[in-house]
Structure 1
Amino acid sequence: MSTVTITDTIQIAPTAVDADGMLARTMRILSCFTADEPELSASRLGALTGLSSSTLHRILAQMLELGLLSRTPGRRYAVGARLWELGELSPLSLRLRETALPYMSRLYEATGENVHLAVLDAPAPERATALYVGRLTGRSSIPTLSRMGGRQPLHTTGVGKALLATQTGDWLDRFLSQPLERETMHSITEPEAVRAEVDRARARGYATTREEMTLGNVSVAAPVGSVAGLPPTALGVVTRIDGADTRRLGALVTQTAADLGRALRAF
């Protein structure tokens, strides 16, 4: 019995304590790529990760071989096609986004403006964000900061406020325990004011923002409803503040979100 216990301990311990193993270092490299820096040189990756030159180049070579990274002109690296291929197997893509596309198209046809699909990404309430998993836009749509795969704050975006409305009071307490950043002069950052916004969203079924993330924009969004196997989800529209009919948009968004929720639960 004691021999088995000792053997098990020897096998498990390296995994438990190896916080800087190959997988961790690989993720450290991948985390360097952003929308602002989608292509990086080896020297830049070294500066960002702190890995030694020999270790970095060994891991980069393996990542290239596995398709996790690709080469670009100028001796730079970019996220590889294999990672994109694997990402498309996520339920956020296969189940959520694919089911949502017809409903998003319906909203776009009715408004001619940006349509966003976002989920709550919350490793902890204090670090929660809105992760954008779908987006439809047109040439005449007002510019926004959102992109597929991008993150935005919960308290300054329509989809973010709609997602906050799905959470419990204790969860909101933890979320609001951290200072909220002011994205524009109109951003609501005071905890009690954010709670009031969440209460209004719950009462009328949809959330709104007015120039809280981008000047000149109005956002209207509604939660999709609880769906087993998926994180909390919200659907929203972003349009110009001039002439925006938030009641009309609220009715459109709320109905479309409810229809999408029923479709997802029947999936």
Structure 2
Amino acid sequence: MIRPILRSLPIAVLGLVVVVALLGPWLPLPSPTQQVGIPFESAGADRPFGTDLLGRDALTRTLHGGRILVLQALVATALGSVVGLAVGTLAGLADRGPLVGLMRMVDTLAAVPPLLVMLLVAAGRPGSDWAVMVAVTAVSLPFSIRVIGGATARLAHLSYVRTALARGDGRLRVIRYDILPNIAREALAEAGIRFIAATQLAATAGFLGLGSPAPAANWGRLVRENLPGATFSPWPALAPAVLLVILALGATLAVDRLTPFRGPARHERSEAQ
């Protein structure tokens, strides 16, 4: 009775944080830009997290700060996974020459520091959350392509895949019936890891002041803004930091829960397919 609940707890925690981040701005709370008290006022019954550096309600700011960050991470993960699956599977089935060439290019792109990519893209569109989202996606793509391409290349040498190609099955048909069922766990685990990395990168962008300028709220920016007053009122900086940790930890445990290791999978299709 207790064990199934504990196994599902990481997924529930992750889902709760995502829901709070996405729906928080619609809760009946004060405006995130409205001054409601003195700066760094201590927590109380009317303001559970106290006030921030400008006297704004810290709870409201925290609930507003997660939406854009989570959306950036979700969109970057989704785009990275889709493009990574498409390019990685096609490259994995290609001849060795094109595959090696693509992987060398992917390795080169992956070697570029993510923060440098973030700064370059954000510099082209200063004050844009979309620029941050594009940068996070661009950083995720090389890793997704490499993981999916490597997994596909390992399967491409197995007899049932070679037989399907030899009898004239198209690459898309082989990918659909012979490749995707066998790399589903790896793809899901890779997407979970990309989501964690995208969340951390989006939070770093907020901490550095990239994306929408103040007074827009972002968990990373909230931590940076409110650190100087942490000795007077810790929650304005501590709450978004804790939520970031819970989000990353929940995603990590959820990936482990959804993709348990059972050894290499092998699903061969029937002749009817």
TM-score by shorter chain over 0.5: no
Higher strand proportion (structure 1 or 2): 1
TM, length-normalised to structure 1: 0.25
Higher helix proportion (structure 1 or 2): 2
